[in-house]
Amino acid sequence: MNKASELREMTAEQLRHELTETQKELLDRTVRSSASQDEGGPSKSALRRRVARILTILREKEPVEPTA
């Protein structure tokens, strides 16, 4: 859904919201698949990759502290 370039254009607050929504979607997907009620949509591995991508971009946006 979101390419890295699209995510990099988002603010940190937008990224945190996207992260929360993606984690909720991943949890729902996990629960549905364990109950054998999977109905399509992005796979769990795709959702995990999206979470990792968002976390990486959030870390990139953090200010770097100078070392002493």
* pLDDT given at position 38: 65
Decide if pLDDT at 5 tops 60: yes
> pTM for the full model?
0.82
Which residue intervals of the chain are DSSP H helices? 4-8, 12-34, 44-61
What value does the mean pLDDT take over residues 18-37? 89
% of residues, the chain, pLDDT over 70: 93
Minimal CA–CA distance to 22: which of 1, 39, 36?
Answer: 1
> Helices 12-34 and 44-61 meet at what angle, rounded to 10?
160
Q: How confident is the model at residue 63 (pLDDT cuts 50, 70, 90)?
A: confident
Residue 16, both tokens? 């945190």
Cβ atoms of 7 and 53 within 8 Å: the answer is yes
